[in-house]
Structure 1
Amino acid sequence: MTAARTRQLPLDWPHRPSMAREDIVVGDSNRLAVAALDAWPNWPHPVLYVHGPAGSGKSHLGAAWRAISGAARFSPGDALPAERPFAVLLDDLDRAGHSEAEIFALLNAARLGGGTVLVTARRAPGELKLATPDLASRLRAATTFTLGQPDEALLSGVLAKLFADRQIELDVKLLELMTRRMERSLDAARALAEALDRETLATKRRPTRQLVLDLLARMDDNAGALS
C-alpha cells in the first residue's frame, strides 16, 4: 500500500525582504525615480515627491533612500529636526495623518536650506485636498516623479529575486505564467512569493504549473472578497 503524501505545517518564520538600494529592480515604471534617488544629495530642489498606486514600490524607494542618506522618518507630531542639514522621509503623505502645519514647517525648513525631504504619496501634489495654499504651492514646486504600475519585465525581475532570496528554483515558464496572470503590483508579487514558499515547504515539492494556478486563483478570490 502506498503511503499517503503528508503535508507538513511550516514554521511561521517571518521572511523580511531586503529594502536596500541594490535590491531595487529597475524598469520603465520607476527608472526616473530611482535615478533621482541615486543623485542625492545633488537634487535640483530640496524636496523630492514620488507618487504612485499601492504596490508600485514607494516604500522600497523610501527605505533605500533612508539607508543611503541616514534620513529620519517623519511621524505625525514630530518636531523639526535639530540637526542641519537634515534628511527626512515623509512617507505616505496622503494617509499618514500629518497636520498641514507640521508638513509646511518641514518643507519650508528644507526650502530655506535646512536639508532635504523625500515625500511619498499615492496622489500627485495637484490632487491633494489642502486647506493651506502655501503648502500646496510648496508641494507643487517639488521635483515630482510618478511610479506607474510595474510591467511584465519589472514583475519578472522582482519575482525572480524574491524566489532567489527564498532559495526556490523556479522554471522560466512558471515565471512567465505568473507575470502574465497576476495583479500588476509589487505587493502582489511579494504575496505570491510568500504563498508559494509556504506551499513548497508544507508539501516538500517543487513548484508546479497547477500549484501556481491554484495560488493565483486563491489570490484573485481573496482580492474579490475584499473589494
Structure 2
Amino acid sequence: MSERANGPRQLPLVLPHEAARGREDFLHGASNEAAFRFIDSWPNWAAPVAILAGPVGVGKTHLVNVWHEASGCAVIAASDLTGDKVSELVEAGAVAVEDAHEGLDENALFHLLNAARERGALVLVTARTWPRSWGLKLPDLASRLRAATPIEMAEPDDDLLRRVLVKLFADRQVFVDPAVIEFLAVRMERSIAAAQVLVDALDRAALSVGRRITRPLAAEVLEAMEGESRQG
C-alpha cells in the first residue's frame, strides 16, 4: 500500500509563488551559456539586433529580465507591438520584443528596427522558432532579421536539469532530498517545460496528502503523468 493511502486526501492549497529571475538566479549550462554571455555583454553587443530562439521554458524571459535589470530596456510582447508605440520604445535605448512566433505586425517591427538603427538603440527579439517559420510577408523585414545575430537556447543537459529541478522547488520554498531529484531527473521528460509541470504536480500532490515529496510519491506522480500522456 502506498503512503498516499495512509491518510485522507485533502484539497491542496497552492500558494502563489514567483520565480526568481535575477542575474544571479540564472542557471548556466552548455545549452544556454552562449545566450547568457551575449546578454551579459551589454552594452558591448557585437550587433545591434539579436534573435534569441529556443523551446518553451528554457529561460528566454529570464534573460530578458536580466537584460532589463542591466539596461532598463523597454519590454513588449510582439503581439502588442504597433506602429504608434515605436517612438516611445526606442527612447529607452534598448528594446526587447518577446514571443515573435505568436504573430506580429510586420510593418511595426520593421519600423521599430529602422527607428532603433537611427537612434542607435539595441533590439532583442525572442521566439520559440527562427524567423523563416513565422510566415513573414514583408521581404525587407525578413532580410533585416536574417542579418540579426542568432542566439540559440536548447534543452538542458543532465547537470542543468537537476539544478533546474532544485531551483523550481526552491522558488516554491520546498526542499527535496537530492536522492529524489536524481530519481526524477533520470525518469522525466528531458525539458524545462516538463520540469515545470512535474514540480507543480508534485507540489500539489504533496499538499493534498499532507506529506513531503518522497521517492514513492514521485513515482506515483510520474506514473500518473505518463498515463495521462498515453491517454492524451
Q: TM-score range by the shorter chain?
A: 0.7 to 0.9
Aligned 8 A contact 2:87 2:115 in 1: no
Query: Which position in structure 2 is the counterpart of 1:40?
Result: 42
How far apart, CA to CA, are the structure 2 residues paired with 1:131 and 1:22? 40
The alignment partner of 2:150 has SS state of strand
Q: How big is each residue's C-alpha offset from its partner over 1:17-50, in whole Å with a ceiling of 9 and x where there is no partner? A: 1222221111111000011111112111111211
Shift of residue 71, structure 1, vs aligned partner: 2.0
Query: Which position in structure 1 is the counterpart of 2:101?
Result: 94
How far apart, CA to CA, are the structure 2 residues paired with 1:133 and 1:10? 52
In structure 1, the gaps of 5 or more residues are none
In structure 2, the gaps of 5 or more residues are 1-5
Q: 1:153 aligns with which of 153, 159, 165?
A: 159
Counterpart code for 2:203? D
Query: Which position in structure 2 is the counterpart of 1:60?
Result: 62
Identity level (%): 45
Shift of residue 217, structure 1, vs aligned partner: 2.5
Query: Which position in structure 2 is the counterpart of 1:6?
Result: 8
How far apart, CA to CA, are the structure 2 residues paired with 1:138 and 1:42? 20
Aligned 8 A contact 2:93 2:119 in 1: no
The Cα RMSD (Å) is 2.1
Query: Which position in structure 2 is the counterpart of 1:16?
Result: 18
How far apart, CA to CA, are the structure 2 residues paired with 1:205 and 1:12? 14
How far apart, CA to CA, are the structure 1 residues paired with 2:125 and 2:205? 37
How far apart, CA to CA, are the structure 2 residues paired with 1:224 and 1:43? 46
Q: Which moved more, 1:23-32 or 1:194-203?
A: 194-203
Equivalences for residues 72-83 of structure 1 within 5 A: 72-74=74-76, 75-77=80-82, 79-82=85-88
Aligned 8 A contact 1:85 1:113 in 2: no
Aligned 8 A contact 2:8 2:209 in 1: yes
Q: 1:164 aligns with which of 170, 188, 198?
A: 170
How far apart, CA to CA, are the structure 1 residues paired with 2:99 and 2:207? 34
How far apart, CA to CA, are the structure 2 residues paired with 1:203 and 1:19? 30
Q: 1:28 aligns with which of 15, 21, 30?
A: 30
Length, aligned pairs only: 222
Q: How big is each residue's C-alpha offset from its partner over 1:85-144, in whole Å with a ceiling of 9 and x where there is no partner? A: 52211101011x311100111112222344111111111234443221211111111111
Aligned 8 A contact 1:47 1:110 in 2: no
Shift of residue 183, structure 1, vs aligned partner: 1.7
The alignment partner of 1:80 has SS state of helix
Measured at CA, do residues 187 and 133 of structure 1 come closer, stay the same or move farther in structure 2, by a change above 3 Å?
Answer: same
Q: 1:213 aligns with which of 207, 219, 222?
A: 219
Counterpart code for 2:91? R
Query: Which position in structure 2 is the counterpart of 1:176?
Result: 182
Shift of residue 224, structure 1, vs aligned partner: 4.5
Shift of residue 225, structure 1, vs aligned partner: 5.0
